[in-house]
């Protein structure tokens, strides 16, 4: 695929294109085989050209944020993994615009510095803005859809802007899960408050997050299927805390986390995940749905 390599290097620069890049280096699970091509894109115009080229060449691609909610195949990805590296954050009164490649944590801190409240709950979430919008990330009873008012995206080779009503937000869901497009930025509406008060609330969230496992993981594995159904608690009551396959283990600290104890493979994690689904369904009749996005072929 020398033609493809030439396209990638011409558009993004030779220094921004890697071949056979191990995905384990780019996911918080620390697992995953090589991506055929791994491309860092630092400009939106380059991204538009790149997507057009990949569509023309009929090449599969995957947009990767911080890799915090991704399980990459041991076999890697036979296509192009794209890492967005544009990270502008701007303010206009109570509105904040953030590029898709900006870290959500950076946006949280920017909002605090400018006396804007509404994102404190996102303190410590390892996500980019694009990844957060894609899955409508959330925590402690809040979600990104609470503050997102518009999103810029690339679809069918064109830059478009969608309003909140067009984004089909739901619990860990957005329209991007059904209608593929590439998020390039989001507009948030926040509320004015004193930076010191915002900082205090952020510190409270930090303390709550100290209860989460520190080993490599993808955060919560399963979505909450309904109000009052606490997945971690159910798994713990079934005695599955500590259940292990290879290097993958159900964290006894929080049973909705599968952690990499040091040598886990994608296959190990999947076997633990499927076992949890089977056991919970047998006990409750509920088939748990994953929050995790799969990269490459998994079985």
**Residues with catalytic annotation?**
172, 220, 291
What six digits make up the tokens of 109?
A: 């801190």
Distance CA 43, CA 50 (A): 11
Q: HSE (CB half, 13 Å, CA atoms) of 197?
A: 8
Which DSSP letter does residue 144 get?
Answer: G
Tokens found for residue 77: 């990805």
Strand pairing report for 142-143 and 138-139: antiparallel
Write the DSSP string, 41-58: E--HHHHHHHHHHHHHTT
**Token pair listed for 180:** 């593929």
User: Which helix or strand (DSSP H or E) is residue 112 part of?
Assistant: helix 104-113
Comparing CA positions, the residue from 122, 120, 39, 54 lying closest to residue 84 is 39
The rounded distance, in Å, linking the Cα atoms of 212 and 28 is 14
For residue 29, what are the contacts with CB-CB under 8 A and spacing of at least 6?
67, 70, 71, 72, 216, 217, 218, 260, 264, 269
Rounded CA-CA distance 63/213 in Å is 26
**To which H or E segment does residue 5 belong?**
helix 2-12
The terminus-to-terminus CA distance of the chain in angstroms comes to 27
Backbone φ and ψ of 6, nearest 5°: -65, -40
Per-residue tokens: 172:
């860990």
């Amino acid at each position: 695929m020398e033609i493809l390599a030439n396209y990638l290097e011409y558009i993004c620069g030779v220094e921004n294109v890697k071949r056979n890049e191990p995905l384990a280096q780019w996911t918080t699970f620390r697992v995953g085989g090589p991506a055929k091509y791994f491309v860092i894109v630092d400009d939106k115009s380059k991204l538009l050209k790149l997507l057009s080229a990949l569509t023309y060449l009929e090449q599969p691609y995957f947009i990767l944020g911080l890799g915090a909610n991704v399980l990459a195949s041991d076999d890697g990805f036979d296509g192009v993994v794209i890492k967005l590296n544009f990270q502008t954050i701007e303010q206009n009164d109570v509105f904040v615009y953030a590029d898709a490649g900006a870290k959500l944590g950076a946006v949280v801190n920017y909002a605090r510095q400018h006396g804007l409240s509404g994102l404190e709950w996102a303190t410590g979430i390892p996500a980019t803005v694009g990844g957060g919008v894609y899955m409508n990330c959330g925590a402690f009873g809040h979600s990104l859809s609470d503050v997102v008012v518009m999103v810029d995206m690339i679809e069918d080779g064109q830059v478009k802007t969608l309003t909140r009503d067009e984004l089909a937000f739901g619990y860990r869901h957005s329209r991007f899960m059904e209608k593929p497009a590439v998020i390039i930025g989001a507009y948030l509406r926040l509320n004015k408050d004193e930076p010191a008060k915002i900082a205090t609330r952020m510190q409270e969230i930090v303390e709550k997050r100290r209860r989460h496992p520190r080993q490599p993981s993808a955060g919560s594995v399963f979505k909450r299927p309904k109000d009052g159904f606490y997945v971690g608690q159910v798994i713990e009551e079934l005695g599955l805390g500590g259940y292990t396959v290879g290097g993958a283990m159900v964290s006894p600290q929080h049973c909705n986390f599968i952690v990499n104890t040091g040598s886990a493979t994608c296959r190990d994690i999947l076997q633990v995940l499927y076992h949890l689904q089977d056991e919970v369904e047998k006990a409750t009749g509920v088939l748990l749905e994953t929050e995790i996005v799969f990269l490459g072929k998994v079985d």
